[in-house]
Chains A and B, each alone.
Chain A
Amino acid sequence: MERNQSSRDNKTARRKFYDRTFAMLGLLATFIGLITLFALMIDLATDGAGRLSRQFLLSFPSRFPEQAGILSAWVGTTLVMLVTALTAVPLGVAAGVYLEEYAPKNWLTALIEINIANLAGVPSIVYGLMALGLFVYQLRLGHSILTAGLTLALLILPIVIVATREAIRAVPGIMREAAYALGATKWQMVKDHVLPYSTGGILTGVIIALSRAIGETAPLITIGALTFIAFLPDSPVKPEFPFISFDWLMSPFTVMPIQMFNWVSRPQEEFHLNAAATGLVLMVMTLAMNALAIYLRYRFRKRIRW
C-alpha cells in the first residue's frame, strides 16, 4: 500500500517535471525565432550601416562598389508600389464587400471563397510566370513598371480581400439595420456606414499586404526586371501641357530587392556591403510598415466601442 503511494508520487513528480521541461523548451523555441530576427538586424546593421549615406541613396548602380547607390532601385520600388496599391486596393476591397455584403449562398460564391484560400498557397514565382506569359507577351505590356505593379497586385489581392472581409465582419448587424431603417439603399448603407467603420481594419490589411509586396523579388525577376539601371523613368509631372504623363508606366525598372540580389550574387566583398546596406533600408521599411499596421490595429480597436 505504501509502495503504491510512493510510486504514484513518483509518477506525479515525473509528469510535473516533464511539464516544466516543456515550458522551458517552448520558451527556448520561441527565442530561436526571435534571436534569428535580432541576429539578422545586427548582421545587416554592422555590415551595411557604414555604406548608408546621402550619396548611396542618390547614386545609380556602378561597377565601382564605393560609388554605387540605390537611386533607381528605390524610385522603381516606389512607382511599382503605387501601381500595385492603386490596382489591388479598389479591386480587393470591392471583392471583399461583395463577398461579405452581397454574395448569395450558392456554388459560385463557394468557388470564389475556396479559390481565394488556395491562391494564398500558390508560390509567388508562379505569379511571375503567369505575368510573363500573360502581361508581357500576350498583352504586350513589356518588362515595364506597369507589368510589375499588376503582378504584385494580383499577388497581394487575396490578402487584401481577406483583410477587408474580416474588417467588415466586425461591423455589428445593428448598424446595417439602423441604416435600412432610415431608408438607405444597400449601397448607401455600405458606402456611408460599413466602409467608414471598417476603414481601420482594411488599412491595416493593406499596409501588411504592401509590406509583403515591397520585399517580393522572384516574380519581378521572372517578368524580366533589369538588374542594372542607370537612369530614372520619365517624370509623371511635366512642365508643358497636359502636365501629367504616363510614360513612366512603360519604363524598364529595377527594385530594391533585385538590386540587393544582384549585389549579393557578386563575388566581391565590397558589393556584399552594398547589399547589406540595401537590405537594411528594406528591413527598416518593411518593419516600419508592419509596426504601423500593428499600431493602427491597436488604436482602432481601442477607439471603437459599439
Chain B
Amino acid sequence: MMPCFTPMNHAETAHATAATRQFAARSSTRRPGERVVEALLFLSALSSIGITVGIVGILLYESFSFFSHVSVVEFLTDTQWTVLFADPHYGIMPLVAGTVVTSAVALLVALPLGTVIAIYLSEYASHRVREIIKPALEMLSAVPTVVFGYFALLLVTPLLQRLLPDLPGFNMLSAGIVIGIMIIPYVSSLSEDAMRAVPVQIREGSYAMGATRLQTALRVLVPSAFSGIASAYVLGFSRAVGETMVVAIAAGQQPNLTLNPMQGAATITAYIVQVSLGDLPHGSVAYQSIFAAGLTLMLMTLVFNIAGYLLRKKFREIY
C-alpha cells in the first residue's frame, strides 16, 4: 500500500488534492485514533443543527400548549393583548403592529444611509479612507444594545421632543431611529462586499462608455450586486425585528394597536422581556404566551428571509 505521488507543480493542484484525499483516506484507516477525532469533529459540526432543532422544537412544543388554551383565531384577530390582566385577551396584533412600526422606522433610516455608505465606500473612497471607516462603522454594531437603549431614551427622545413637543417620553420613533443607526453597519458592510465582488471589467465597461461614478454605481453595480444587497437588507430587517433592549427601554411596554410612530407601544420582543422580568409560574398560559410570541417573531423573519431568497433567485446575475 505505498501511496504514489508524482512530482507536481502549481498547475496540477486539482490533481494533487485528489491524490492527497486518497492518501489521507488510507492513513486514517491506519490509525484508529484518526477515526475517533473525525467523529468528534463531525459531532461538533452537527451541534449547530442541534441548535436549530432545539429552537424550533421548544417554540413549537410550548406554543402547542398555548394554543390548546387559546384559539388560533383569537390569537390572530383579537385587537387586545392583555395576558397579565384579570380579563385576559390574547390578540397578537398590537405586538405585531409595534414590531412592524419600529422596524419600518429603523429600515427607513438604515437602508438609504447604509446603501449610500456602501456605494461611497466601494466606488468613491480611497483605499486608506475605507480601511479606517469600515472598522470604525463596524464598532457601531459592537456597542451593546442596552447602551443604545439608554441613548434612545435619555438623549434622542429629549432631542426629538424639542422638534415635536407632543411626543411622549416613550415612543416608537426614537427607538426606531436608534435601531436604524445601529443596523447601518450590517447593511453597508454586506452591500459593499457585494458591490466590490462585481467583476472589474463590468465597471470599466461602464466607465469606457463615459458614465460617471454615480451612473456606474446606480445603473451597473447596484443591479449587478442586487442579490448581495438584498441579503444585506434581509439581515438588516431580521436585526430590526429581533431587536429587544432598545424598544424595551425607549418605546414603552404597553401593547398599543397603532401604526403611529409618535406613540409608545410594546413590540413582541419587549413583551417577552417584560414577562421574563416578572416571576411567572412555569406552565401557566402567560408563560406559554412568550413562546407563542417568539414563534410569531420567528415566522416573521422566516417570511422575510424566504421573500429575500426568492428575490435573489429572480435577479441573480451570473458572470
Residues of A within 8 A of B (CB): 15-16, 18-19, 22-23, 25-27, 29-30, 32-34, 36-37, 39-40, 43-44, 47, 90-92, 94-95, 97-99, 102-103, 111-112, 115-116, 118-130, 132-134, 137, 154, 157-158, 161, 173, 176-177, 180-181, 185-187, 208, 211-212, 214-218, 221-224, 227, 257-258, 260-261, 264-265, 272, 275-276, 279, 282-283, 286-287, 290, 294
Closest CB of chain A to B90's CB: distance in Å?
Answer: 17
Which residues from chain A contact B147 at a C-beta distance below 8 Å? 40, 44, 215, 260, 279, 282-283
Cβ-defined contact, A125 with B58, below 8 A: no
Closest CB of chain A to B128's CB: distance in Å?
Answer: 14
Closest CB of chain A to B3's CB: distance in Å?
Answer: 9
Cβ-defined contact, B41 with A287, below 8 A: no
Cβ-defined contact, A99 with B45, below 8 A: yes
- Check A290/B55 contact, CB under 8 A, given A177-B20, A275-B150: no
- Residues 234-255 of B, flagged 1 when their CB comes within 8 A of A and 0 if not, give 1100110111110011000000
Name A279's contact: one of B20, B49, B113, B146 (CB within 8 Å). Answer: B146
Cβ-defined contact, A185 with B30, below 8 A: yes
Which residues from chain B contact A25 at a C-beta distance below 8 Å? 116, 120
Which residues from chain B contact A157 at a C-beta distance below 8 Å? 47-48, 51
Stretch at the interface among B68-76, B79-87, B221-229, B272-280: B272-280
Interface of B is mostly: helix
Q: Is residue B31 within 8 Å, beta carbon to beta carbon, of the partner chain?
A: yes
Name A264's contact: one of B13, B235, B249 (CB within 8 Å). Answer: B249
Which residues from chain A contact B273 at a C-beta distance below 8 Å? 125, 218, 221-222
Q: Which 5 A-B pairs have the closest CB atoms?
A: A123-B242, A26-B120, A215-B144, A94-B44, A133-B58
Name B185's contact: one of A33, A123, A126, A286 (CB within 8 Å). Answer: A33
Interface of A is mostly: helix
Name B269's contact: one of A19, A125, A154, A215 (CB within 8 Å). Answer: A125
Question: Can you give 28 A-B contacts (C-beta < 8 A)?
Answer: A29-B117, A33-B184, A36-B181, A37-B139, A40-B143, A43-B155, A95-B41, A98-B42, A102-B42, A112-B48, A115-B52, A121-B238, A123-B241, A123-B243, A129-B55, A129-B272, A137-B282, A157-B51, A215-B145, A215-B146, A217-B144, A217-B145, A222-B290, A257-B146, A279-B144, A282-B146, A282-B147, A286-B142
Closest CB of chain B to A111's CB: distance in Å?
Answer: 7
Of listed B17, B30, B46, B146, residue having the most chain A CB within 10 A? B146
Cβ-defined contact, B244 with A125, below 8 A: yes
**Which partner residue on chain A sits nearest B110 by CB separation?**
A33
Closest CB of chain B to A122's CB: distance in Å?
Answer: 7
**Which partner residue on chain B sits nearest A225 by CB separation?**
B276
- Check A122/B282 contact, CB under 8 A, given A19-B214, A33-B113, A177-B16: no
Cβ-defined contact, A123 with B113, below 8 A: no
Name B137's contact: one of A33, A90, A177, A257 (CB within 8 Å). Answer: A33
Which residues from chain A contact B294 at a C-beta distance below 8 Å? 125-126, 129
Q: Is residue B151 within 8 Å, beta carbon to beta carbon, of the partner chain?
A: yes
Cβ-defined contact, B45 with A123, below 8 A: no
Q: Could you tell me the distance between the alpha carbons of A32 and B181 in the complex, rounded to whole angstroms? A: 8
- Residues 120-158 of B, flagged 1 when their CB comes within 8 A of A and 0 if not, give 110011000000010111111011111111110111000
Cβ-defined contact, B249 with A265, below 8 A: yes
Q: Could you tell me the distance between the alpha carbons of A104 and B37 in the complex, rounded to whole angstroms? A: 15
Which residues from chain B contact A99 at a C-beta distance below 8 Å? 45
Which residues from chain A contact B276 at a C-beta distance below 8 Å? 128, 132, 221-224
Which residues from chain B contact A218 at a C-beta distance below 8 Å? 145, 244-245, 248, 269, 272-273
Q: Could you tell me the distance between the alpha carbons of A264 and B241 in the complex, rounded to whole angstroms? A: 22
Which residues from chain B contact A33 at a C-beta distance below 8 Å? 113, 117, 137, 140, 181, 184-185, 188
Q: Could you tell me the distance between the alpha carbons of A45 and B133 in the complex, rounded to whole angstroms? A: 23
Closest CB of chain B to A86's CB: distance in Å?
Answer: 14
Q: Could you tell me the distance between the alpha carbons of A16 and B241 in the complex, rounded to whole angstroms? A: 39
Which residues from chain A contact B155 at a C-beta distance below 8 Å? 39, 43
Of listed B46, B51, B151, residue having the most chain A CB within 10 A? B51
